[in-house]
Amino acid sequence: MIIGVPREVKNNEFRVAITASGVHEFRAHGHTVLVERGAGAGSAIPDAVYLAAGAALVDGPDEGWDRADLVLKVKEPGEPESRHFRAGLILFAYLHLAAEPALTRALLEAGVTAIAYETVQEGRVLPLLAPMSEVAGRLSVQVGAQVMTAPAGGPGLLLGGVPGVRPAKVVVLGAGVAGTNATAMAGGAGAEGTIPDIDISRR
């Protein structure tokens, strides 16, 4: 199988769909991996690392899309990428198709087999969505702490407080992966945390 890894085109998207260890694993199973030059730059993975793992580098997105049996992306394809849709192509990415009816129609009409990372389940767990929720939960507390500062227009609260000043009270709605990570981050910063959830089994 030929696997294509194009550079992400969505604004402010710096992730890449595969690391060098993933390339090595595919190569070990006899697959060809085509990585667009610079695809890993935003994630601090230089082209030389992909080459060392056995990938072939391609110039621009066209070759990777057009030669590939399977295209690995992070985010849903943008307008310039949809021209590469064709019957038999397999696309694996965070697609969020419920919010993208035009993309859904384009994939169906072209005959693309599209697999959304966010819908892959193992038991009742979403293993490909969980890491993104971990990052989002932890980052939410960092962003919240920043906007609570006076220079950012906030009330001038410090999450953990200082001697003589009580710590902030943080309420996180929902004890899913994002929520539990946000609560852990807030607690680690010294804040008082509360995390209500409708599932009584989550503690």
- Domains in the chain (CATH in brackets) are 2-119 (3.40.50.720), 130-194 (3.40.50.720)
pLDDT of residue 202: 74
pLDDT of residue 52: 99
The DSSP-derived string for the chain is -EEEEPPP-STT----S--HHHHHHHHHTT-EEEEETTTTGGGT--HHHHHHHTPEEESSHHHHHHH-SEEEEEEPP-GGGGGG--TT-EEEEE--GGG-HHHHHHHHHHT-EEEEGGG--BTTB-TTTHHHHHHHHHHHHHHHHHHTSGGGTS----TT-BTTBPPPEEE-S--SHHHHHHHHHHHHTT-EEE---S-TT--
pLDDT of residue 111: 98
| CA pair distance 70, 65, nearest whole angstrom | 8
pLDDT of residue 201: 79
| CA pair distance 91, 4, nearest whole angstrom | 10
pLDDT of residue 124: 85
pLDDT of residue 200: 80
Compute mean pLDDT per 10 residues along the chain, 203 residues long, and list them. 98 97 98 99 99 98 97 95 98 96 97 97 92 96 96 94 93 95 96 92 72
User: Model pTM greater than 0.95?
Assistant: no
| CA pair distance 187, 202, nearest whole angstrom | 17
| Residue pair 56/32 in contact by the 8 Å Cβ criterion | yes
Query: How many Å from the N-terminal Cα to the C-terminal Cα in the chain?
Result: 45
